[in-house]
Amino acid sequence: MNKMKKYAYGVDIGGTTIKIGLFTSEGELIEKWEIPTRTEEKGKYILCDIEKFISEQSEKKNISKEEIEGIGMGIPGPVEDDGTVLGCVNLGWGTCNAVNLLNEMTGIKVKAGNDANVASLGEMWKGGGRGFSNIVMVTLGTGVGGGIVINGKILAGSSGSAGEIGHIPVKDDETEQCGCGKCGCLEQYASASGVSRTVEKYLKAHPETDTVLSDDLSSKAIFDAASQGDKFAVKIKDETGKMLGKALAGIACVVNPEAFVIGGGMSKAGDILLNSIESSFKHYAFHAQRETEFRMAELGNDAGIYGSVYLILSDV
Amino acid sequence: MNKMKKYAYGVDIGGTTIKIGLFTSEGELIEKWEIPTRTEEKGKYILCDIEKFISEQSEKKNISKEEIEGIGMGIPGPVEDDGTVLGCVNLGWGTCNAVNLLNEMTGIKVKAGNDANVASLGEMWKGGGRGFSNIVMVTLGTGVGGGIVINGKILAGSSGSAGEIGHIPVKDDETEQCGCGKCGCLEQYASASGVSRTVEKYLKAHPETDTVLSDDLSSKAIFDAASQGDKFAVKIKDETGKMLGKALAGIACVVNPEAFVIGGGMSKAGDILLNSIESSFKHYAFHAQRETEFRMAELGNDAGIYGSVYLILSDV
């Protein structure tokens, strides 16, 4: 490591806000900020805004360009190893090389990865996956996302779409479409919105169901009811856990990770859901993989800035 | 590459025979041999036999030890990156470091990998996967095996069991056990023996079925009947293709390869099966992965010696 280089920035670009973290080159977070994502005019201001913000903050803190190891970026779209972004709907971007562009603006070394993958790397480095170098991160949010880290590096896939585990086909007779256009994807059942959809559909067909659930059919309400012993909610929780456990057993057959790290809004249901997933996993897992570890994610919304700065710090 | 080093050996250890190939360091196969695998006394003679054979052949051909780049080995069990074999039932081996042992006997550099993984590497290098560096090899034999190559390197997995795709859970209501002890594994339906089992079971329950199939219910007989238009056999072929295509769509969501390479005895059914797999894959695949390529394996039983020698030659 170059001793002149004392700092690095981690940037996590989302559709609404851009999170920026300033880190020491030992990986300690010094300060973090959020700025709005200006998606107008095909997102042409996004990289300029990042450049401007970083240059202003560095000036404020008397950090010279020579002291900055680099800038890591998480981007909400497929990113190839050389930094080529293959289009990014949420930002308005077409195909471009975000790494080269930001590097030309700043004169600082830049690296980038897909946001979900970069968040997985962050969890491996400083979060729930600490101590492992082979993990599969499972993000249970509005959708089901994933990120795969092999020997401490992101598995990006040949077209940047490795770890798209929400779109594993799990059900043949589904008639409603997933956001991706297919029918029967994992995220139609195992995401927060998937769980709500399942419950809503069931209660409409069976209004006589004995449950405390009524108007609020958010996944939070459902898992809260399950933890209070509501039998219907417990059944839904078990079925969600079963489906996820089975899918993760299949994923383990492919990449055989040391651990699964479970995150995303729905993971706030905590042990009650995690236990269901893990016991289903053990049932469906290949014997050599039955002892795969399960961990809760720990970094929440900061996983992206940690992971993106790690792209820089792990490379020096 | 050291110019003194003109040759390398690739060794593929099977439960019955050991295949050994002598290659130039440019990767041309000079000669290949088979010797019996002596599994008696916990397989203690296997490495000695390999050492002895290689040393005799080298002497015959006037190849000095200094001219040999190394020996690569494919081993039928889980192999960790440092050469530790975590037990190998077919050879009678417990946990041992086969790489260190053979290296001490020969004084030559040794590398090793799991046999299925090494065969995948061989297919990538000189077989059906030529031109790709990210492939999933699918071996449809007595069982369903797999091997995953990412950026030109084997994905071994954290306990050496990545690519065990035959044990992906695909069916919930199966009552018969897979060889692994679980119920409902992919290889219970999509392997040569799985296809035979399915047909036998169906014909026993429905003896009135209109089909040319009678005594010979081997997968070869079934796919031959399908290619001759036997409606029942065509249905079986389509169902096998559907199940495989769906499983491969799930695998693509995980590792997003450039290509699937289909090999093993059952792949001799050729295009008739491959087309069924590929069209089912396109149906179930995530949109960004729909154009994943399909190739037939080309090296047959030689994939192992090619892949194992590539462990040596790709590392120099």
Residues B156-187 have pLDDT tens digits of: 999 889 999 999 999 999 999 998 999 999 99
Interchain pair A254, B160: CB under 8 A: no
Write the CB contacts of A213 (distance below 8 Å, at least 6 apart in sequence): A199, A203, A221, A222, A225, A230, A232, A233
Percent of chain B with pLDDT over 90: 89
Rounded to an integer, what distance in angstroms lies between the CA atom of residue A77 and that of residue B151?
A: 21
Give Cα separations from B6 to B26, B28, B65, B70 (angstroms): 8, 11, 10, 10
Query: B3 pLDDT exceeds 70?
Result: no
Distance of CA A36 to the CA centre of its chain: 20
- Chain B residues within 8 A of A161 when measuring between CB atoms: 253, 256, 286, 288-289
How far, in Å, are A112, A153, A297, B262 from residue A124 at the CA level?
17, 10, 9, 34
pLDDT at B198: 92
Tell me if A277 sits within 8 A of A262, measured CB to CB.
yes
Burial (Cβ within 10 Å: 0-12, 13-18, ≥19) of residue A135: buried
Structure token pair of residue B133: 């560096």
Question: Rounded CA gap, B19 and B34, in Å?
Answer: 5
pLDDT for A1: 53
pLDDT at A289: 95
Q: Of the candidates A143, A153, A189, which has an alpha carbon nearest to the alpha carbon of residue A310?
A: A153
Instruction: List C-alpha distances in Å: B108 to A184, B87, B98, B105, B135.
Output: 53, 24, 13, 8, 30
Beta-carbon count within 10 A of A208 CB: 5
Distance (Å, whole) CA B93 – CA A214: 60
pLDDT, position A132: 98
**Core vs surface per residue B156-188: b (16+ CB within 10 A) or e:** bbbbbbbbbbbbbbbeeeeeeebebebbbbbbb
From B172's Cα to the closest Cα of chain A, the distance in A is 10
CB neighbours of residue B214 within 10 Å: 8
Residues of A in contact with B165 (CB under 8 A): 253-254
Which candidate from B254, B256, B284 shows the least CB-CB separation from A169? B284
Dump pLDDT digits (tens) for B32-82. Answer: 999 999 999 999 999 999 999 999 999 999 999 999 999 999 999 888 888
- The residue assigned the tokens 């594993």 is A168
CA neighbours closer than 13 Å in the CB half-sphere of residue B28? 4
Across the interface, whether the CB atoms of A254 and B148 are under 8 A apart is answered yes
- pLDDT single digits (tens) A135-165: 999 999 989 999 999 999 999 999 889 999 9
Distance CA B157, CA B146 (A): 12
Whole-angstrom CA distances from A306 to A32, A78, A163, A175 are: 11, 19, 19, 40
**B255 vs A181, A250, A254: nearest CB:** A254
Q: How far B134 CA sits from the closest chain A CA (Å)?
A: 7
Residues of chain A falling short of pLDDT 70? 1-3, 316
Mean pLDDT of B282-294: 96
Nearest to B266 by CA among B165, B107, B144: B144
Chain B residues closer than 8 Å to A239 by CB: none
Distances in Å between the alpha carbon of A93 and those of A46, A67, A75? 10, 31, 11
- Locate A261 and state its tokens: 């790290």
Distance of CA A119 to the CA centre of its chain: 5
Query: Least CB-CB distance to B162: which of A159, A182, A255?
Result: A255
Which residues of chain B make contact with A148, given a CB cutoff of 8 A? 254-255
Cβ contact B254–A258 (<8 Å) = no
A134 CB-near residues (< 8 Å, 6+ apart): A149, A150, A151, A255, A256, A257, A258, A259, B157, B158
At residue A17, φ and ψ (nearest 5 deg) are -130, 160
Residues β-bridged to residue B296: B262
Of A157, A250, A286, the CB nearest to B255: A157
B236-249 mean pLDDT: 96
Contacts of B257 in chain A (CB under 8 A): 157-158
- Identify the CA nearest to B211 among candidates B196, B197, B229: B229
CA distance A168 to chain B (A): 4
Kindly determine whether residue B249 and residue A286, on different chains, have CB atoms separated by under 8 Å.
no
Looking at the DSSP bridge assignments, the partners of residue A32 are A21
Residues from B contacting A (CB-CB < 8 Å) are 78, 134, 146, 148, 150, 155-169, 180-182, 246, 249-251, 253-258, 284, 286-289
Rounded (10°) angle between helices B303-313 and B115-126: 80
Of A15-19, A201-205, B88-92, B217-221, the poorest mean pLDDT is in: B88-92
Which pLDDT does position B155 carry in this prediction? 95
Asked if A120 contacts A311 with a C-beta cutoff of 8 angstroms, the reply is no
Parallel, antiparallel, or unpaired: how do β-strands B7-13 and B153-154 relate? unpaired
A98 touches A83 (CB < 8 A) = yes
Q: If phi over 0 gives left and psi between -120 and 50 gives alpha, with beta otherwise, what is residue B57? A: alpha
Distance from CA of B255 to the nearest CA of A (A): 5
The two beta strands, A293-296 and A259-263, are parallel
Residue found under tokens 């779409």: A161
The CA-based angle A99-A105-A119, given to 5 degrees, is: 35
Q: Residue A3: what pLDDT?
A: 63
- Residues contacting B82, CB < 8 A, separation 6+: B97, B99
Quote the crossing angle between the two packed helices A219-227 and A271-284, to the nearest 10°. Answer: 90
Nearest CA in chain A to B178: A286
The full 3-state SS of B34-79, as one line of letters, equals: EEECCCHHHHCCHHHHHHHHHHHHHHHCCCCHHHEEEEEEEECCCE
Owner of token pair 């456990």: A245
Task: Please indicate whether, in this complex, the C-beta atoms of B256 and A168 are within 8 angstroms of each other.
Answer: no
Tokens 């059919």 belong to A217
The residues facing B72 across adjacent strands are B10, B111
With bands split at pLDDT 50, 70 and 90, how would you rate the model's confidence at B151? very high
How far does the CA of residue A204 sit from the closest CA of chain B (Å)? 27
Return the residue of B nearest to A178 by Cα.
B286
Return the structure tokens found at B216. Answer: 């010979």
Residue B5: its pLDDT value, please?
84
Task: Write the DSSP symbol of residue A132.
Answer: -
- Going by C-alpha positions, the residue among B133, B146, B118 that lies closest to residue B303 is B118
In chain B, what residues touch A251 (CB-CB under 8 Å)?
A: 254
Q: Which of A196-202's residues contact partners 24+ apart within 8 Å by CB, and which partners?
A: A196/A222, A198/A236, A198/A239, A199/A236
pLDDT of the residue at B1: 53
DSSP structural state of residue B313: H
CB A193 within 8 A of CB A143: yes
Q: What is the pLDDT of residue A257?
A: 98
